[in-house]
Amino acid sequence: MGGAKPRNRNHHRADPISKPIKPPTDPELAAIREKRILPVLKDLQSAELKTRSQAASVIRNIIEDQKCRKLLLREQIVRILFDNTLTDSNLETRAAGWSILSCLAEHEEADFCVHIYRQDVLTALEGVIKTVVQAIESVEAPISTLPQAQKAVIWNLSTSIVALLVSLSEAQDEIVQAITKQPVFVNFLFGLLMVEIIPLDIRGEAALCLQTLTEDNETLSQIIADDGDRLKLLINSKDSGDLKGVTACGVLHNIFDSLQWAEHSTPNSGVSDASLIPTLVKYLDYGKSLTNRANGHTTETNPEQILQLALEIIASIATTLQETLEHGGHREKEFEGFDDKDETIEDDDEMDDGEEDGQNGEMDEEEIDADMDLVTGDALDDNEDLDGRPTLERLVQDAAPIIIELAKSLKGSSPEEKTIHSHALSALNNISWTLSSIDFSTGHLNKLQSSWTSMRQRIWDELITPVLASDTADIDLATSVTSLAWAVSRGGQGDLNIRPGEQQKFMALFHASKDLDSKGKSASTNGSKKPTQEGTDEFQGLGVKSIGVLGRLALDPAPIELNREVGIFLINVVSALPDTAAANVVEALNQIFDIYADENYAYDEAVFWKEGFYKQLEDALPKVKQLTKSVDKRKHNELRARTDEAVLNLGRFLKYKRSKREI
């Protein structure tokens, strides 16, 4: 959980706030402070209602300017808001105060939200929510009869409350738990969804807030699921065609995920992620709106936001499904080292014990196949209604083609298009990784395999090849496309049809990643940034992804010349130690193990032995061992564990290849 520094309480001063605030040393900031900040803060605390109200409006208009915002914070705007503005006798002034606070929460770092949470902002929110609810539910003065100006105040106040709840929910798990425990907040959000007179944009933001709150929140998900009316409201809202609809899909997905409701384990028929995909695919039609910006036409809804949310939810559905498949034992079997009785006898004993213990509790093969049929849709009759197709089939046949077309249509001419394009690639990436987790060798998923094989090639031809051909200098785009290429290539074994020289493009990207790493280290040495940020995943870099793609392209039945070119590249990555990043070495070794594990492949003799790979790997073993020792497991636990594993597997691999050579 994130946290903020504890407030510095000085019990020896009668009034800790009374200490004069030093003006900034920067002349520009000092001038802004004198001319704009101090006068408006003075007016905000005026005894005159009109002056206070005008000051609150002025601050709301300048708060998004970073310089003004930082100066306002420096002058303790938060204290003034809590002590005066948020409890002002005038509702319009209070509404402006909440708008200022929500804007601060949106633009500042998470520790700002933690700070105001510790200032008991939730209690203050409970009070203002009561005011809004009373205004909306009033019988004596129905809100529909109020003047437009008065209604605007209520709607602005509602917007600020919801926005602040979103920011608080994104800041810290502890805050999410606190909000979940207080029924007033969830009741308020669902109340906004239910009342027809409330503007659509507010209802959409309320649904978005619920989506944020329900993410990985089993407690709240169960509360909503137990309330049949609220669950029905979300299901009915998902097809509304606006922000409220797509975010309702997000809330439902979070509930299904938290409560593990899948096709075969949902308490109600059709209440699972599979039911959301057709709706989400419809929301992808908002991509057409991005091409109509030049005519000046505007709509109430935000097509970029709706598109982004739809793609994010589809990507999350794919990831959730992958986790479900993996937990069910359907993971692709990866290289785990070669048999070595002397080195692994204890592990083997433990594995044998585990197999015996688990025999009675695990499903038999027929049950597993039946379970997979439910997930993939192969258990359905060919004449069954299309709406009965479960999640995996919907992702491949319904979502993927539309996302491909969407990604192709975006030219990246605006920041909005680049963002949506990135999310489209991410969604396809997640779908591809999920499909790569499935073992198609059993033959009972032939329909799905056929669909996915053609879809993989289409993704490569229409999205990956054009970027490779462009020699893009956009590293973010190159990284996204390389990640997608790796996921797509994992779906088969050396069976993708690639253009001549495309493997060299990935080699070039690997070398470009090394240059970027060098520049980053140089900048961190000369500046204040740390070379490696805490929490950085070393295995998500462009270099590792490039190696991963190349390894998959070189698998049998890849042409021998392609295998040789990639094999030499991978060997050189390892041999370049100590001038190669540890994660790159680990991935290169893993790909070598996968490619050359079977001595029956044609390229075993023609490439592995003829090119002297065995000798080069043998010479590299001491350097790999030294690499492992250089990784601090306290700072890089996963990296150390995987380098340790790579050393062990390299020794086993060499022993295995040597034994097969001697036979």
Task: Note whether 307 and 418 are within 8 A (CB).
Answer: no
Contacts of residue 179, defined as CB under 8 A and 6 or more positions apart, other chains included, come to: 122, 165, 168, 169, 185, 186, 213
What DSSP state is assigned to residue 387?
G
pLDDT value at residue 443: 74
Q: What is the CA radius of gyration of the chain?
A: 29
pLDDT value at residue 351: 37
| Confidence at 501, pLDDT banded by 50, 70, 90 | very high
The mean pLDDT of 243-263, rounded to a whole number, is 90
Closest CA relative to residue 652, chosen from 332, 351, 344, 334: 344
Inform me whether the pLDDT recorded for 438 exceeds 50: yes
Task: Note whether 156 and 196 are within 8 A (CB).
Answer: no
Task: Note whether 190 and 237 are within 8 A (CB).
Answer: no
The mean pLDDT of 450-479, rounded to a whole number, is 93
Q: Which tokens go with 504?
A: 């060299």
Inform me whether the pLDDT recorded for 612 exceeds 90: yes
Closest CA relative to residue 367, chosen from 228, 458, 264: 264
Pairwise pLDDT comparison (8 vs 299), residue with the higher score: 299
| Confidence at 291, pLDDT banded by 50, 70, 90 | low
- Using DSSP's 3-state secondary structure scheme, residue 627 falls into helix
Task: Give the Cα separation of 330 and 324 in Å (integer).
Answer: 9
Per-domain boundaries in the chain: 269-291+301-332+372-492, 496-523+539-663
Closest CA relative to residue 574, chosen from 593, 557, 601: 593
Inform me whether the pLDDT recorded for 544 exceeds 90: yes
Task: Give the Cα separation of 581 and 403 in Å (integer).
Answer: 35
What DSSP state is assigned to residue 383?
T
pLDDT value at residue 294: 39
Inform me whether the pLDDT recorded for 42 exceeds 80: yes
Residue type at 348?
Answer: D
Place of tokens 């994992």: 490
Residue by residue, DSSP assigns 264-320 as TT-SSTT-SGGGTHHHHHHHGGGGGGGGGGGG----SS-HHHHHHHHHHHHHHHHHH
pLDDT value at residue 297: 47
Which of 41-55, 101-115, 204-218, 516-530 has the lowest average pLDDT? 516-530
Task: Give the Cα separation of 225 and 218 in Å (integer).
Answer: 10
pLDDT value at residue 2: 42
The mean pLDDT of 267-274, rounded to a whole number, is 76
Q: Which tokens go with 86?
A: 């948020």
| Confidence at 387, pLDDT banded by 50, 70, 90 | very low
Measured CA distances, 200 to 81, 132, 194, 204, 240 (Å): 29, 17, 11, 6, 10
Inform me whether the pLDDT recorded for 364 exceeds 70: no
| Confidence at 529, pLDDT banded by 50, 70, 90 | very low
| Confidence at 69, pLDDT banded by 50, 70, 90 | very high
Question: Measured in Å, how far apart are the chain's first and last C-alpha atoms?
Answer: 57
Task: Give the Cα separation of 486 and 510 in Å (integer).
Answer: 13
Which of 66-80, 301-315, 383-397, 401-415 has the lowest average pLDDT? 383-397
pLDDT digits (tens, 9 = 90+) for 152-177: 999 999 999 999 999 999 999 999 99
What DSSP state is assigned to residue 37?
I
Give just the sign of the alpha carbon dihedral 123, 129, 135, 139: negative
What DSSP state is assigned to residue 604?
I
What DSSP state is assigned to residue 494?
S
Task: Note whether 52 and 16 are within 8 A (CB).
Answer: no
Closest CA relative to residue 542, chosen from 564, 515, 566: 515
| Confidence at 267, pLDDT banded by 50, 70, 90 | low
Task: Give the Cα separation of 102 and 532 in Å (integer).
Answer: 33
**329 Rama sector, left if φ>0, alpha if ψ -120 to 50, beta otherwise:** left
Q: Is 12 exposed, middle or buried (0-12, 13-18, 19+ CB in 10 A)?
A: exposed
Inform me whether the pLDDT recorded for 24 exceeds 50: yes
pLDDT value at residue 617: 97
Task: Give the Cα separation of 189 and 196 in Å (integer).
Answer: 13
pTM above 0.85? no
